[in-house]
Structure 1
Amino acid sequence: MPVVNRIAALADDMAAWRHAIHRRPELGFDLPETSRFVAERLREFGVDELHEGIARSGVVALIHGQRPGPAVALRADMDALPMDEQSGVPYASEIPGRMHACGHDGHTAMLLGAARYLAETRNFAGTAVLLFQPAEEQGGGGQVMVREGVLDRFHVREVHALHIAPGVPVGEFATTPGPIMAAVDDFTVTLTGQGGHAAYPHDALDPVPAACALVGALQTIPSRNADPMKQLVLSVTQVHAGSAFNVIPDRATVGGTIRSYDKALHALARRRLGEVAQGTAAAFGLSATVEFIEGYPPTINDAARTAFAVEVAQEVGTRVEDRMTPEMGAEDFSFLLEQRPGAFVMLGNGDTPMCHHPAFVFDDRALPLGASYLARVIERALPVTE
């Protein structure tokens, strides 16, 4: 079965919705225009229940099928990124320093398309729970929605979501059982010594050589502490020290990120980072403080629900990769998958710049494919039986 015919007929509408959202990107939990736009469309479609202000600016819509039954949730993220747009499209961002560079405008438009179709046809038994989520990029809106009880409140049995994938041909889907996206934590190590005149280093405790040594020492954590059969990334992305050529600073900071798929390995990396930082500082006669900013847990697909998602994608797409290589990016759909079985699926966006690139362009040809996939998840997961 290819793209659902009724959804194919909505292609222009979905593109118009996406372009409207794209012009007015909003960040984090502060999505008043986007949420209002989504809610207005859902009211027009005639959803059975509409709940606004979830996780500050999230929207939850319920559509009941022909008969009572379980509830299955579909999720789309709505927030943009704090960056300037260089795509050149006629509907480019009207707000400097903000851009939909990760396809969330498209995810939202696809779920709106699925909502319109499901509200019209209701060819399922149970309830479709549509989660329009804020703050995927920053703030963990998925975690907040879970904490506010959306899965329990609406009796959700399973959860599904998709994400656009640049570099994959339009029409192709990809996913995998088990880990598909990584856990992420950011860290800052502050090395404190004693400042002084650069001409008299013996009278100071210089943190700069220690920072340089620490950068190299941290690389031994993935290479010498982690099981080589398991993936671990530790990237140092910031080194800051000093303000003048002739002054030895009293402190230096080293910052970066840790990413993995395994919670035990992640904990090991955090522990060893602290030990290496303290040991390096002691070797140079300094003190060290280590701070972590906890990010998202690993996104782990349920095996059975992933096999189901592959079957649905095979109905809609031209090709489905069912054992894709997991990615080291992070995704806060992970918080929902910690609570309910489900699947996270990638949908091709063609040969475009990657997500988070200022020239990224969402390919509108993907909209009917994504909306058809989401709608068929509901119809297949909640079949009408005689």
Structure 2
Amino acid sequence: MLQAVNPVIPGIAAIAPELVEVRRRIHAHPELAFEETLTSDLVAELLTGWGYDVHRGIGKTGVVGVLREGQGTRTVGLRADMDALPLAETTGLPYASRHANKMHACGHDGHTAMLLCAARHLAATRQFSGTLNLIFQPAEENFGGAKAMMDDGLFDRFPCDAIFAIHNMPGRAAGDMAFRTGAAMASADRVTITLRGVGGHGAMPHFARDPMSAAGSIMVALQTIVAREVDAQHAAVITVGSVQAGETFNIIPETVTMKLSVRALNADVRALLARRIEALAKGQAESFGVTAEVDYDYGYPVLVNHAEPTAFAADIARRMLGAERVETDTAPLMGSEDFAFMLEARPGCYAFIGNGIGSKGGCMVHNPGYDFNDDILAIGASYWVRIAEAWLAA
């Protein structure tokens, strides 16, 4: 069994306290998707000061820092997300959000600071040969900032032989890491079903065509798609998150709008769900004498980790932390992540780092009481340095 002596690189340990302060500064000033101007200003300023070639405005507010060293021809991309969530923070911390209904509730402030910490060390030591591309991405939360950067020519302008990303994970021991080859996170699609009938008086439903009855039937029937049409060995989720209709107790509404979240861990299952949801909604609607319009918004694809980069990254983590702190076949998550778009274009690996258990780091993401655990910043930065130095070995 591999036993790590010290997972944190001494040079990282020396500068980590400064980057913790950077993290808390970002935390206090959260910015929503494609609004990360202060954050990207800070990232660009620091990278420039450390000697990186800095490129801005990629995917609106994205930043790429490029550092070349030696004669090596290999390239690598390390990605961190920067955006916050529209949530009111309740932590009461001294560095809590100073902006109403904006909060770093998913740890992207920590992801940014970890990569900045690694960036500073790599620029100072330059123990690699090749091209290092540090990708600071906007708008991971529901808005596809990864795709926006790619549409702006990310990989044409900054070629990457492989790409890597990490995300903090509450409920896993602080600094422990987890990997999975293949499908690691689900696709995420949004569906809007609009039912149109004939409104009427609640006391005389026979004069109406009730879309509410159709909506109730559709809501139940949707679950039979997962239960009876999807292979039981394949995970899928259909969630009806919103039903909007009339406003009073004695009027049958003319329209009902249903909003669905649809997730799958397999591209074929994703396609099956799309076909069957539309067919079922229209068929059920017709049986009630109403019509159904289905608007299917394809969102993030399945996140699929590639075998070679994942094995490479997991080996780095084992040598750094010891085998007992690294899980190499972690269960897939039904959450989604737009790094999936990048993994469709380039080989790479998306990994997880434990944020902690219990009172320190255990609060789940997207919760108003969440905070990134600063104790893992130096570990994450050390992982990034080792990934870069090993992939771009001199």
User: TM-score by structure 2 length?
Assistant: 0.96
AA at the equivalent of 1:143:
K
Cross-structure match for 2:258: 254
Look up the match of 1:72: 76
Q: Distance in 1 between matches of 2:19 and 2:163?
A: 23
Q: Which whole-Å deviations, capped at 9, do the CAs of 1:80-135 have from their partners, x for residues lacking one?
A: 00110011211000000100000000000000001001100110110110000000
- Give 1:341's aligned residue: 347
Pairwise CA distance, 1:66: 3.1
Q: What residue number does 2:50 align with?
A: 45
* Aligned ranges 1:131-280 → 2 under 5 Å: 131-280=135-284
Q: Does the 8 A contact of 1:278 with 1:288 survive in 2?
A: yes
| Aligned CA-pair RMSD | 0.9
> C-alpha displacement at 1:69, in angstroms?
2.0
The aligned residue for residue 90 of structure 2 is 86
Contiguous gaps of at least 5 residues in structure 1: none
1:297 aligns with 2:301: yes
C-alpha separation between the residues in 1 aligned to 2:75 and 2:379?
23
Give, in whole Å, the separation in 1 of the partners of 2:46 and 2:133: 16
Equivalent in the alignment of 1:22 = 27
* Partners of 1:176 and 1:164 in 2: CA distance: 15
Distance 1:233 1:139 in 2: 21
Partner of 1:380: 390
C-alpha distance in 1 between matches for 2:364 and 2:321: 21
Secondary structure in 2 aligned to 1:91? Answer: coil
Worse-superposed segment, 156-165 or 314-323: 314-323
Letter in 2 for 1:17: V
Deviation at 1:353, TM superposition (A): 1.1
Structure 1 letter corresponding to 2:329: R
Q: Find the partner of 2:314 among 294, 310, 313.
A: 310
In 2, Cα distance between equivalents of 1:83 and 1:361: 13
CA–CA distance in structure 1, aligned partners of residues 318 and 200 of structure 2: 67
3-state DSSP of counterpart to 1:311: helix
Shift of 1:70: 1.2
Paired letter, 1:274:
E
Equivalent position amino acid for 1:372 in 2: S
**Counterpart Cα distance in 1 of 2:245 and 2:203:** 17
Aligned residue in 2 for 1:323: 329
1:337-356 Cα deviation digits (max 9, x unpaired): 00110000000000221110
Q: C-alpha distance in 1, partners of 2:338/2:279?
A: 29
Give 1:299 deviation, angstroms: 0.7
Q: Which whole-Å CA distance do the structure 1 matches of 2:32 and 2:282 have between them? A: 37
User: 1:70–1:155: 8 Å Cα contact kept in structure 2?
Assistant: no
Match of 1:282 in 2: 286
Deviation of 1:175 after TM superposition, in Å, equals 1.1
Which residue of structure 2 aligns with residue 366 of structure 1? 376
Matches of 2:37 and 2:71 in 1, distance apart?
Answer: 34
| 1:316–1:369 Cα contact (<8 Å) kept | no
TM-superposed deviation, 1:13: 1.0
For the 8 Å contact 1:23–1:93, the answer to whether it is kept is yes
Please list the CA deviations of residues 213-271 of structure 1 after superposition, one character each: whole Å capped at 9, or x if unmatched: 11000001101110111111111111111111111101112211110111111011010
Runs of 4+ with deviation above 6 angstroms: none
How far apart, CA to CA, are the structure 2 residues paired with 1:18 and 1:294?
33
**Amino acid of the residue matched to residue 160 of structure 2?**
V
Indicate if the aligned counterparts of 1:66 and 1:123 stay in contact, CA closer than 8 A: no
Relative to the length of structure 1, the TM-score reads 0.98
Aligned mates of 1:246, 1:235 — CA distance in 2: 28
Deviation at 1:30, TM superposition (A): 1.4
How big is the shift at 1:154?
1.7
Q: Which secondary structure state, in structure 1, belongs to the residue aligned with residue 300 of structure 2?
A: coil
Contact conserved, 2:72 with 2:392, CA < 8 A, in 1?
no
CA contact (8 A) 1:193 1:250 kept: yes
Check conservation: 1:78, 1:133, Cα contact below 8 A.
Answer: yes
User: How many equivalent pairs are there?
Assistant: 383
